[in-house]
Chain A
């Protein structure tokens, strides 16, 4: 479609930090949004040449194929440990991990909490969609009470499976992290707030301030068995009641 270049200016385009490879996420998945927001942030801060992504196990496992900078794929849950190693050997690099709730809050709890407790100068992006997406919608530690999942077909029962983990709160009570926040993506205002939070987290890492965690409440249209628009409504109406939004710690 031709666009009149004289009178029109481009106000939104594909970030330079992304390759042309199409995302393998399901239609309407918020993972794509977060990936795009991170790429735009890296573009804006001019960090493309010295950024390293540590990809998790999960739906975003082949993340290094989408970003136009270096990446490594860690063992399940060990992204924070791998990021620690990269950052300590090459302190000039900007290192961030991108992890889901199965990776960060279940199998990788130890690595994630101790990286935060040591105050490693890394950025952790935590996608909390309250379900195990890639393996077929099983219950995650973050699944809400009463929520349906394939491994709890009558809804999550706290007597049997415990309560949802609020990981951002756990990290926020430690002394070392400089920035811990929880954001979501269900409307335009929240998307802009998430963008600002991710930018701030990267900015702090550039300034050598220390560990930052950005938890993002996301959707999973496939495993919640909902349309993407309905998942946004559920995030706004139900999920934020269990996971309140906002900055928990900002020690800078």
Chain B
């Protein structure tokens, strides 16, 4: 499994919860924080489980998520 990493823009997040529903690895959860617009935002609860599939980012209506994935090791050596 590749390792992934996601970065959530706290001020863009509206806490709709669609990313939670799309994540197959249960990486995300509601936090106890609120942003300046008053939305209960999402946080990366279990970052080590993330595989960088970007399903959460593709489901986010406010483009609050950026996704990084570990480079694949070169094959055939």
A residues contacting B by CB (< 8 A) are: 1, 3, 7-15, 18, 22-23, 25-33, 36, 187-188, 191-192, 221, 227-229, 232
**Contact A229 B12, beta carbon cutoff 8 Å:** no
When C-beta atoms are compared, the residue in chain A nearest to B20 turns out to be A229
CB distance from A78 to the nearest CB of B (A): 27
When C-beta atoms are compared, the residue in chain A nearest to B61 turns out to be A32
Given contacts A23-B62, A27-B39, A188-B22, contact A228 B16 (CB under 8 A): yes
Given contacts A229-B18, A229-B21, contact A9 B69 (CB under 8 A): yes
B63 at the interface (CB under 8 A from A): yes
Mask: chain B, 13-41; 1 = CB below 8 Å from A; 0 = not = 01111101110000000000000000100
What are 20 A-B pairs with beta-carbon distances under 8 A?
A3-B68, A8-B69, A8-B70, A11-B67, A11-B69, A12-B54, A12-B66, A14-B66, A22-B62, A25-B61, A27-B61, A28-B18, A36-B61, A188-B22, A188-B58, A228-B18, A229-B17, A229-B20, A229-B21, A232-B21
Binding site secondary structure of chain A: mixed
CB distance from B25 to the nearest CB of A (A): 13
When C-beta atoms are compared, the residue in chain A nearest to B44 turns out to be A1
